[in-house]
Amino acid sequence: MELTSEIGWNFKNSYARLPRRFFAEQHPTPVQLPKLIILNKRLAESLGLNAERLESEEGTAVFAGNKLPEGAFPLAQAYAGHQFGHFTMLGDGRAVLIGEQITPTDDRFDIQLKGAGRTPYSRGGDGRAGLGPMLREYIISESMHALGIPTTRSLAVVTTGEPIYRETELPGAILTRVASSHLRVGTFEFAAQWGKEGQLQALADYAIDRHFPDISEEYNKYFLFFRHVVERQAKLIAKWQLIGFIHGVMNTDNMTISGETIDYGPCAFMDEYDPETVFSSIDRQGRYAYGNQPGIGQWNLARFAESLLPLFHKKQEKAVEMAKEVLSYYAEVYDRHLLTGMRAKLGLFHAKEQDEALIRNLLVIMEKNRADYTNTFKALTFELFDEMDLFKTREFQEWQKQWKARLNEQKQSKAEVKQLMKNNNPAVIPRNHRVEAALEAAVEKEDYSVMERLLEVLSNPYAHTFEQEAYSTVPPPSHYPYRTFCGT
Q: What is the pLDDT of residue 310?
A: 96
pLDDT(479) > 70: no
Q: 222-259 pLDDT, tens per residue?
A: 999 999 999 999 999 999 999 999 999 999 999 999 99
Residue 115 has pLDDT above 60, yes or no: yes
- Contact at 8 Å (CB) between 330 and 230? yes
Please report which helix (H) or strand (E) contains residue 249, including its range: none
CA–CA distance, 149 with 132 (Å, rounded to integer): 23
HSE of 287 in the Cβ direction (CA atoms, 13 Å)? 16
Read off the pLDDT of residues 432-474 as tens digits, 9 standing for 90 and up. 999 999 999 999 999 999 999 999 999 999 999 999 999 999 9
Nearest to 172 by CA among 180, 163, 185, 181: 163
Please state, in angstroms and as integers, the Cα–Cα distance from residue 165 to each residue in 48, 92, 170, 284, 323, following that order: 36, 19, 6, 24, 45
Q: Is 106 a catalytic residue?
A: no
Whole-model pTM over 0.85: yes
On the question of pLDDT at 376 being above 80, the answer is yes
Largest CA distance in the chain: 69
Nearest to 283 by CA among 230, 253, 246: 246
Pairing of strands 2-3, 68-69: parallel
Please pick, among 253, 263, 271, 283, the residue that the annotation labels catalytic.
Answer: 253
Q: Which amino acid is at 473?
A: T
